[in-house]
Amino acid sequence: MLRMVIVGLPQSGKTTVFNALTRSEAETGGFSSGESEANLATVKVPDPRLDALTPLFNPKRIVPADVQYLDVAGLAKGVGESGMGGQLLGQLAQANALVLVVRAFEDANVPHPEETVDALRDLETLLLEFTFSDLGIIEKRLVRIDQTVGKLRGTEREQHEREREALLRCKVALEADTPIREVELDEEDARLLRGFGFLTQKPALVLFNVGEDQLGATADEIVAVARERFGRPGVEIHALAGQIEMEIAQLDADDAALFMADLGIAESSLDRVIRLSYDLLGLISFFTVGPDEDRAWTIRRGATAVEAASEIHSDIARGFIRAEIVAYDDMMATGTMAEARKAGKLRLEGKTYVMQDGDITHFLFNV
């Protein structure tokens, strides 16, 4: 399951954004830095293609993909350098991507910890906290390796020396203001470092939390300036009006559509952030269909058919014979797998076939 962790400085409105994305009613306002209990919610990934496939197969159940959002305690300035608490660092490290909520709205009733609202300053602060946290972890680990590597022999020593070299490259990059996600690591180095959960290695979706009066040109300008200054691979920068979006999330579908139209909001925050997250992480969906169940599955772009099969069950991947594939548009045009076969639109693909977004798939296997 895709896991997105929402993080921000205190009073950034991140819990408001969490409520907007999940239609939750978590308490806002007092959830600041510390080892506080996080807010957690799982939401269904909206996909109109799954809805359109339903009348073709009349399944007993429909199963969209899931996304989990975790709203953690606010990061106080300086926490990365002094050392994040174990619980907070663990929550951040488990994320597939980080959602950075940055305050851009003015509200005299919600005082900013720095006394003034400066969205670019706050984004820089967040990014620096991640850098300091990663540097601290690396420096501690290097000390441990130096203390023990001389006592090791053979393969174990080689592994520690290789880990040290990879960590040193990451350290040099961080000290040059380059996040670990931009450090070239081969498969073995990536495996050695995976357990650290480095924060600058994670893709980041930056959401400037603007006020209703900032929607439009003001929000666009904030985003444009931020992209010029902070844009780099693995970072997406956008804006949303958290308070308004939270109110919209509590409305029924018809009222929400009217409210969004009045404000010029073309897409709900839930739909938009999931779409942006999939793009950021390079994810696509494929579908399995039939009388029992229509289901959406999430895989990385570029995944092979056997890798897609493993998302369903390891036995399917282990006993993989072939995959029957129909493109989504072809399925909508023909209506059934049988008609797709007659029209020559059903393809038989092997293990190395690269899955395409929207593929309707039936796996043949034998174990």
Can you give the CATH number for the domain in which 35 is found? 3.40.50.300
For residues 222 and 262, membership in a common domain is answered with: yes
The number of distinct structural domains making up the chain is: 2
For residues 54 and 128, membership in a common domain is answered with: yes
For residues 310 and 245, membership in a common domain is answered with: no
Which tokens sit at 352? 């190395």
**What's 314's domain CATH number?**
3.10.20.30
Note the pLDDT tens digit of each residue in 259-312: 888 888 888 888 899 999 999 999 999 999 999 999 999 999 999 999 999 999
**Residue 296 located in a structural domain:** no
Q: Which domain holds residue 8?
A: 2-280
Say if residue 31's pLDDT is above 70: no
For residues 276 and 309, membership in a common domain is answered with: no
For residues 57 and 163, membership in a common domain is answered with: yes
**Residue 294 located in a structural domain:** no
For residues 320 and 204, membership in a common domain is answered with: no
Type of residue found at 335: G
Q: DSSP letter at 46?
A: P
Say if residue 37's pLDDT is above 90: no
Q: How far apart are CA 188 and CA 170, in angstroms?
A: 15
What's the confidence (pLDDT) of residue 121? 96
Q: How far apart are CA 130 and CA 201, in angstroms?
A: 10
- CB-based burial of residue 205 (10 Å sphere; 0-12 exposed, 13-18 middle, 19+ buried)? buried
For residues 44 and 77, membership in a common domain is answered with: yes
Q: How would you classify the pairing of strands 293-300 and 66-71?
A: unpaired
For residues 308 and 258, membership in a common domain is answered with: no
For residues 261 and 333, membership in a common domain is answered with: no
Strand partners, 100: 7, 206
Does the pTM exceed 0.75? yes
For residues 195 and 342, membership in a common domain is answered with: no
List Cβ neighbours of 288 (8 Å cut-off, separation of 6 or more): 294, 295, 297, 312, 360, 361, 362
Which tokens sit at 158? 């080689």
Q: How far apart are CA 122 and CA 238, in angstroms?
A: 15
What's the confidence (pLDDT) of residue 278? 94
For residues 30 and 70, membership in a common domain is answered with: yes
The mean pLDDT of 86-112, rounded to a whole number, is 91
